[in-house]
Structure 1
């Protein structure tokens, strides 16, 4: 029994740490390496009460939400929707436009299959979905027919027979898109991106992120609201009126030349973003 006990003692902390949540709902850099609060234009529901903006990036401060025991019966969101109280001047609501590519950020929490620092066999990525809610009220649960899939963001490569080059090549789909994971396995930044459908009805919508780490682990979710505009011009007018930049995202790998994992002649338009 002692080998089994030892295995559980070693495995359980790793499993306990394998959780996550969405930190930013409108980030201005796709496939970025390091979290930068100045590049976050909007925040999820209840970010203020959990100190998500000013707290450490990888510290949930109670914000993480897992659908324990019976996912079909557990409340879909960490806190009920109340737009007047769940967003503040410091943690504003997102604004999108039809056709916009949106970038989300999340901490990795020790859950990336990168052979330079972890075992790619045991780190699983099963499902990464973005939903929009049909209606103005939170759905009862993850099985609700009010959840409409906006985008399947894919799964990250993992497994016993996978080529090590694949796990160390970025960007990649799914949860494990965190190029600097091995520098800080618990707190490294991962990014997703999804596109607002052109046929979405303009107006205020609730969005839901759902991540399933492993089929044996219940889903994790984060909820947020966003005002969706028909055009970028309309969205820009909204952001300008609220003091936000109207510059949209850039892709880290399109503006930087990477040689042997190092940036050559880096270009970082963050000053333009902040002042834009």
Structure 2
């Protein structure tokens, strides 16, 4: 099994084979089928160190980082906060605005209960949460009172109580929202989306993603920073100044007519046409 990028603090019992992380922190296509780095406007901490833009999606770094009961040894965020050195022109920091729907991407690493290609319907999905950090210092651990939950992204259906039709129908909520999982179970792209709260104070914030696959496996996390603006116009001005598109997020299933999992009436890709 491939070794994974150390962008996140994870918990892995001795024989566990689960891992994932957030690859893009501002992706332009919700519920997309295939990864396209041109659609990514922003990245997690130290994405350049792990070459996330140019390496194959789903591959990563050279060691596993665990989140366990020793936060003084294994902190919540694998890479400590260092805004000046964690981001660059190739892997820039995100910028959001109040009320924005933000799309995140992650690799599936085999953890999807899709009846089209899996007899086992018990690939679990227990918790998918987004947090903002209260303050400028990284929290010690996943239970820190500095973590303020801002969004619950739901959990994917799994288990024998769900029909085959439900398990192979997309889009889904939660981790297993990866419509092309069966084509590449290890490296298929999954997407989430969350909303920036209207009452979040504008300014720079640290965001933390938390995924619990099953309760016996400790949380997976990824940390990143983003400048939050009060309005889209302010955010757009910043993105223009830093050479990025101001295109609004679109939804793959709203711009394409899909029948039985096949695109029968494709829309023009805004990235390609723009």
For normalisation by structure 1, the TM-score amounts to: 0.90
Greater helix share, structure number: 1
Provide runs of 4+ in structure 1 moved above 6 Å. none
**CA-CA distance at 1:39 after TM superposition:** 0.2
CA contact (8 A) 1:20 1:64 kept: no
Q: Give unmatched runs, 5+ long, in structure 1.
A: 1-11
**CA-CA distance at 1:161 after TM superposition:** 2.1
Q: Secondary structure in 1 aligned to 2:24?
A: coil
**CA-CA distance at 1:74 after TM superposition:** 3.2
Q: Secondary structure in 2 aligned to 1:26?
A: strand
Counterpart-to-counterpart distance in 1, 2:163 and 2:82: 47
Match of 2:143 in 1: 143
**CA-CA distance at 1:72 after TM superposition:** 8.8
2:31 aligned with 1:31? yes
Match of 1:190 in 2: 190
**CA-CA distance at 1:269 after TM superposition:** 1.4
Counterpart-to-counterpart distance in 2, 1:26 and 1:117: 30
2:113 aligned with 1:121? no
**CA-CA distance at 1:69 after TM superposition:** 5.1
Match of 1:260 in 2: 260
Q: Give unmatched runs, 5+ long, in structure 2.
A: 1-12
Larger Rg: 1
**CA-CA distance at 1:218 after TM superposition:** 0.8
Alignment of 1:1-276 (within 5 A): 15-16=16-17, 18-62=18-62, 65-68=65-68, 70=70, 74-267=74-267, 268-272=269-273, 275=274
Counterpart-to-counterpart distance in 1, 2:135 and 2:244: 27
**CA-CA distance at 1:65 after TM superposition:** 4.4
For normalisation by structure 2, the TM-score amounts to: 0.91
**CA-CA distance at 1:64 after TM superposition:** 6.2
After superposition, the CA RMSD in angstroms is: 1.8
**CA-CA distance at 1:62 after TM superposition:** 3.6
CA contact (8 A) 1:72 1:142 kept: no
